[in-house]
Chain A
Amino acid sequence: EIVMTQSPATLSVSPGERATLSCRASQSVSSNLAWYQQKPGQAPRLLIYGASTRATGIPARFSGSGSGTEFTLTISSLQSEDFAVYYCQQYNNWPLYTFGQGTKLEIK
Chain B
Amino acid sequence: QVQLQESGPGLVKPSQTLSLTCTVSGGSISSGGYYWSWIRQHPGKGLEWIGYIYYSGSTYYNPSLKSRVTISVDTSKNQFSLKLSSVTAADTAVYYCAREERYYYDSSGLDYWGQGTLVTVSS
> Which residues from chain A sit less than 8 Å from chain B, CB to CB?
1, 32, 34, 36, 42-46, 48-50, 55-56, 87, 89, 91, 94-102
Contacts and interface: CB of A to CB of B under 8 A. Distances in A.
Interface string B22-58: 0000000000000001000000001111001000000
Contact of A49 (B96, B105, B109): B109
A89 B105 CA distance: 15
B96 A97 contact: no
Q: How large is the interface on B (under 10, 10 to 19, 20 to 34, 35 or more residues)?
A: 20 to 34
Contacts of B49: 96-99
Contacts of B46: 87, 99-102
| Most A CB within 10 A of own CB, among B46, B60, B100, B105 | B46
Nearest to A53: B108
A3 to B, nearest CB: 12
Nearest to A47: B109
B25 to A, nearest CB: 16
A55 B100 CA distance: 12
Contacts of A97: 37, 49
B122 interface: no
Interface stretch (B8-16, B68-76, B83-91, B110-118): B110-118
A99 B52 CA distance: 15
B115 A94 contact: no
A95 B105 CA distance: 9
A56 B101 CA distance: 13
A87 B110 contact: no
